[in-house]
Amino acid sequence: MRTNEDASWELIGAHIAAESSGKSPRLFSSRRTLFGIPSALDEELAKLDQEVAKQTATHEAQEAASEAAASPTSERAWAPKPAAAPKPAAVPGSAQQHVVHPLAPVFDERSRVLILGTMPSPKSRETGFYYNHPQNRFWKVMAALFDEPIPAANQEKKALVLAHGIALWDVLAECTIKGASDGTIAECVPNDIAWLLGQAPVEAVFCTGAKAAELYGKYCEPSTRMPCTRLPSTSPANAATSLDQLIEAYRQILPFCAQA
């Protein structure tokens, strides 16, 4: 006499044979109902269904990630880098800090000159714009070059440089630094300057200070294939260079700005 147990073992054998041939476990859903397979086998087949669904989802996620990675760099919009994992506490008596660049690059379709610093100073990060330390002479130099009033508000500063075809950004996306001292910069991660050059018709790159020029040459020029011209720093730390000397040095940008 043929029992339910006999039918179950026959179906298990059929399931193993079908699995070996590559058939989907889902083919047995009707057989489970038809032959009244014990619940333990139902659970095993359900697990197989879940494993197939999991593998399918993993495969689709990998394909989506591959497509995103293959997207051209020029199609990506700038976004600030996510904060890195917390760094170890500073050695007592040291003010070295890990800093992530918080400011978006300033540029538009008219930008033919790119001016780069190293990393925004603490005051610039606090006030949300470039060269915003009260003693930094950058905005006095810009105003003098273009015979315009010295801008006060951030929007006025942005409007001034954009009107004359100037883009602003910094070489570094993150680093460790002590205050605003370029000489203490370490653990550098560069910004994607090549991406910006793909967004605007930049014809010349200028770096404000020796450290910015050094870091650009080391981290950025291999990908941009555009050398930079070093300009004197407008920082109060460069007190040896007068305002008149700075204005004269920065006249190098004018041939490119004239086309804006």
User: What's the CATH code of the domain at 153?
Assistant: 3.40.470.10
Q: Which pLDDT does position 128 carry in this prediction?
A: 97
Mark whether 170 and 225 lie in a shared domain.
yes
The count of domains in the chain is: 2
- Cβ–Cβ contacts within 10 Å for residue 123, how many? 15
88 within a domain of the structure (yes/no) = no
- Whether 85 is in a domain gets the answer no
Whole-angstrom Cα distance, residue 141 to residue 150?
9
76 belongs to a structural domain: no
Q: Which of 53, 69, 85 is the last residue of a domain?
A: 69
Q: Check residue 48 and give its pLDDT.
A: 64
Whether 58 and 167 share a structural domain: no
By residue range, what is the domain housing residue 250? 95-257
Among 148, 110, 149, 101, which Cα is nearest to 129's? 101
Q: Is residue 87 part of a domain?
A: no
Regarding whether 153 and 244 lie in a shared domain, the answer is yes
The contacts of residue 61 (CB under 8 Å, 6+ apart) are: none
The domain boundary, picked from 54, 69, 84, lies at: 69
State residue 74's pLDDT score.
37
- Tens digit of pLDDT per residue, the chain (260 long)? 555 555 555 655 665 555 555 554 444 444 444 445 445 556 666 676 677 666 666 656 555 544 444 433 333 466 665 544 444 444 433 588 999 999 999 999 999 999 999 999 999 999 999 999 999 999 999 999 999 999 999 999 999 999 999 999 999 999 999 988 888 999 999 999 999 999 999 999 999 999 999 999 999 999 999 999 999 999 999 999 999 999 999 999 999 996 55
Same structural domain for residues 171 and 136?
yes
CB burial readout 29-46, b (16+ within 10 A) else e: eeebeeeebeeebeeebe
Q: Are residues 142 and 199 in the same domain?
A: yes
The neighbour count for residue 213, using CB atoms within 10 Å, is: 22
For the CA atoms of 138, 140, 142, 147, the dihedral, rounded to the nearest 10 degrees, stands at 180
Position 166 in a domain: yes
